[in-house]
Every structure is written in C-alpha cells, then in structure tokens.
Amino acid sequence: MKSPEASRGPWDYDKILAELPAAEIIHPLADGHCPYVVKN
C-alpha cells in the first residue's frame, strides 16, 4: 500500500513490486492440470 502522500488519486493505492513477462505466467490450457479442461 502506498502512503496517502505517494498516491496520485483515489485509484492509486498499490505499489508495483515487479513486472512478470506474460510468457512466464500464462500457459496453454492443454499444459495445465485443470480437471475441467478436456484434452483431445
């Protein structure tokens, strides 16, 4: 959480700690382990 002095508006209350590349966090459904995804 940001301090009130560091906020630029009512929507600005979180501080970004790190950015992750999409390829690192998003995987194809076929590679997942969700039992609700039907694999052909």
Task: Look up residue 22 and give its two tokens.
Answer: 């999409």
Please tell me the predicted confidence (pLDDT) of residue 20. Answer: 94
pLDDT tens string 1-40: 778 888 888 888 788 889 999 988 888 888 888 888 876 6
Please tell me the predicted confidence (pLDDT) of residue 18. Answer: 93
Rounded distance, CA 7 to CA 9, Å? Answer: 6
Tell me the helices (H) and strands (E) count for the chain, helix number first: 1, 0
Please tell me the predicted confidence (pLDDT) of residue 40. Answer: 65
Rounded distance, CA 24 to CA 26, Å? Answer: 6
Question: With a threshold of 0.75, does the pTM exceed it?
Answer: no
